[in-house]
């Protein structure tokens, strides 16, 4: 192994150029933030969100999202660059605040320039959202000449606050940021917390926190929430170990009992969730559960086997249409009219056959070629379902309707609250299958194939069987989602199964963490539950998807909750020799440690 030798670097060479580059970086990021603020105004987000108050009467949602950008760019611009051990950071104290304020002022000046453009020319023929209403919002109701310095001042102060975050030590910084995040959560999800407090007969809490049912946070409520969560996270920051560390340190028997108890508590909570939250939230949770079923299946194909499948919606369609054909009296082909529960074995067989049919032509394909071919299969499935040629079998554009509700014995599931429970059971089953195959012979073969297909084949792994099995297992899990979807909606139509579904499921896996079941669950919550709860964001849902993907790829490519192995692969160059020794053992250390690692 090669050794890294630290060479002394003169202080003049390290600090002075870095200080000059920091100001240039602040200018560059400030202008980038200004462009982002102008785009947020131009696409209509500010005007669309402005009627909603987050904290009454001082903080409308449109203004909040506009000035959230200088906070973020001010924090980024003032972030100290990495320095050699033994040297002070290039920016400390006032320089952090100055860099953040500079970035914020430049962003505010860009918005001021937009204000001049709006008030001088009528551009609504091209940019429909550049309206007098937008000008009134961003100018705070002031004349243009007075509004521009005010905008620059407000953005500069917000950027300086972003820079000042770096001056806090880790414990108060973590407590402050967590408390602010919770205040934002309580202000955004007013309906959810209102229903929760109402179900618990805590009307006095609603009256104190909010201006009314579904209203905005009061100033006093926001301050109390901030104080409570700040104290809580300050207390957590002072503990010697986290809850996860204490659980891992428990003896095996005690840890098992603790985990069983935690699982029972979670199940009890989940049992009451649909009853407390009502049909709207239950429907969102059912939709998220169906996407989660598909994501767990695609996680096997992409996360474990490393096969990029962009046509995964085809398996979802197979499950839905197989259920419709077997159960609906309106089925154009034939109508045995069996129950939804009795159709599940036949749906699994149909999904397995579809998985084999898709996998067989792509056995020797890898990477981009595999993604393009599977994308073609997904589009072919949708076009065939929509064609007049196959209308006698699949109903064509009219689809298949009158699909019966799911019935298990005497219990019939008809409402969103009812469907929450079978969807949850299928999700648990899919998670169990995922964990079971992860450490099985199949799972090890998939992960070896993902690392290096040629090496895996040379080690004796049957690549054909491994790929076929991955596609089949993934297809069966997706078909479960299709069955539940068809039964809950009561009808299926070809336009439902477009490429957007495949992309959304893939984004869930990427954001949550490939190869990680908890990560996939969190990804479904972030990308399905939150956008549907925040109905104001529905028009900009894919915009947020794109921004989130960019941020994740730059800052955390392994996802929110990655599998341990995946995180190690993506950050291999950051691991020390001791870490590599712990992961791979002494025998493989020489082969695994990258060149240049000490």
pLDDT level of residue 270 (50, 70, 90 thresholds):
confident
- Residue 582 pLDDT: 47
Which residue is associated with the tokens 């490429």? 499
- The Cα 148–Cα 138 span in angstroms is 9
Query: Which helix (H) or strand (E) covers residue 218, if one does?
Result: strand 217-218
8 Å CB contact between 105 and 159: yes
8 Å CB contact between 239 and 174: no
How far is the CA of 229 from the CAs of 72, 167, 195, 222, 225, in angstroms?
A: 22, 21, 21, 11, 6
- Residue 567 pLDDT: 63
- Average pLDDT for residues 116-144, to the nearest whole number? 89
Q: Is the pLDDT of residue 189 over 70?
A: yes
Half-sphere exposure of 132 (CA within 13 A, CB side): 1
Other CB atoms within 10 Å distance of the CB of residue 209 = 23
pLDDT in tens, 230-254: 999 998 877 766 666 776 777 777 7
- 3-class SS at 211? coil
- Residue 484 pLDDT: 93
8 Å CB contact between 319 and 311: no
pLDDT in tens, 435-490: 888 888 888 888 888 888 888 888 888 888 888 899 999 999 999 999 999 999 98
pLDDT in tens, 135-167: 999 999 899 999 999 999 999 999 999 988 888
Q: Is the pLDDT of residue 82 over 80?
A: no
- 3-class SS at 534? coil
State if pTM tops 0.75.
yes
Q: Is the pLDDT of residue 380 over 60?
A: yes
- The Cα 521–Cα 508 span in angstroms is 8
- The Cα 326–Cα 487 span in angstroms is 11
- Average pLDDT for residues 103-120, to the nearest whole number? 93
CA dihedral 489, 495, 499, 502 (to 10 degrees): 10
CA angle 33–534–486, rounded 5-degree value: 125
Q: Is the pLDDT of residue 92 over 60?
A: no
């Amino acid at each position: 192994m090669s050794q890294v030798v630290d060479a002394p670097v003169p202080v003049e060479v390290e600090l002075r150029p870095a200080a000059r580059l920091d100001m240039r970086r602040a200018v560059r990021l400030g202008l980038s933030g200004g462009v982002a603020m102008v785009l947020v105004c131009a696409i209509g987000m500010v005007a669309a969100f402005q009627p909603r108050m987050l904290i009454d009467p001082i903080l409308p949602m449109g203004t909040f999202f506009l000035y959230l950008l200088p906070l973020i760019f001010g924090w980024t611009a003032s972030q100290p660059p990495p320095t050699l051990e033994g040297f002070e950071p290039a920016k400390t104290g006032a320089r952090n605040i100055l860099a953040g304020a500079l970035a914020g002022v430049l962003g505010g000046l860009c918005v001021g320039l937009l204000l001049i453009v709006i008030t001088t020319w009528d551009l609504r023929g091209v940019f429909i959202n550049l309206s007098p209403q937008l000008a009134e919002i961003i100018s705070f109701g002031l004349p243009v000449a007075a509004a521009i310095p005010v905008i620059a001042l407000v953005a500069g102060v917000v950027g300086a606050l972003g820079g000042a975050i770096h001056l806090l030590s880790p414990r108060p910084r973590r407590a402050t940021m967590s408390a602010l995040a919770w205040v934002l959560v309580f202000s955004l999800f007013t309906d959810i917390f209102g229903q929760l407090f109402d179900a618990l007969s805590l009307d006095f809490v609603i009256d104190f926190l909010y201006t009314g049912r579904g209203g905005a946070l009061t100033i006093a409520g926001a301050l109390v929430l901030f104080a409570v969560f700040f104290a809580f996270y300050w207390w957590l920051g002072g503990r010697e170990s986290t809850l996860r560390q204490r659980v891992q340190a428990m003896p095996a028997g005690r840890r098992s009992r603790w985990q069983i108890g935690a699982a029972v508590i979670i199940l009890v909570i989940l049992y009451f969730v649909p009853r407390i939250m009502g049909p709207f939230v239950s429907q969102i949770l059912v939709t998220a559960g169906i996407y989660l079923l598909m994501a767990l299946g695609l996680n096997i194909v992409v996360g474990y086997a490393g096969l990029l499948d962009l046509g995964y919606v085809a398996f979802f369609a197979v499950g839905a249409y197989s259920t419709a054909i077997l159960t609906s009296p309106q089925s154009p082909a034939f109508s045995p009219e069996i129950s939804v529960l009795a159709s599940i074995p036949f749906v699994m067989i149909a999904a397995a056959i579809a998985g084999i049919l898709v996998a067989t032509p792509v056995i020797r394909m890898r990477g981009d070629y595999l993604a393009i071919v599977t994308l073609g299969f997904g589009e072919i499935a949708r076009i065939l379902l929509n064609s007049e040629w196959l209308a006698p079998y699949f109903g064509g554009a009219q689809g298949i309707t009158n699909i019966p509700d799911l019935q298990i014995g005497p219990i019939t599931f008809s409402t969103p609250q009812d469907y929450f429970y079978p969807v949850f059971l299928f999700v648990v089953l899919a998670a169990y299958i995922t964990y079971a195959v992860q450490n099985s012979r199949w799972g090890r073969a998939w992960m070896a194939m993902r690392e290096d297909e040629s090496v895996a084949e040379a080690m004796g792994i049957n690549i054909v069987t491994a790929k076929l099995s991955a596609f089949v297992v993934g297809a069966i899990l997706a078909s479960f989602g299709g069955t539940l979807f068809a039964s809950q909606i009561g009808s299926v139509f070809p336009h439902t199964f477009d490429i957007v579904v495949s992309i959304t499921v893939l984004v869930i896996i990427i954001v949550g963490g490939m190869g990680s079941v908890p990560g996939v669950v969190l990804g479904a919550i972030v990308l399905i539950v939150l956008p549907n709860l925040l109905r104001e964001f529905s028009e900009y849902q894919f915009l947020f998807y794109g921004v989130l993907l960019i941020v994740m790829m730059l800052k955390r490519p392994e996802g929110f909750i990655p599998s341990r192995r995946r995180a190690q692969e993506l950050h291999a160059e950051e691991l020390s020799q001791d870490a590599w020794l712990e992961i791979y053992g002494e025998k493989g250390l020489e082969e695994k440690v990258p060149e240049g690692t000490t």
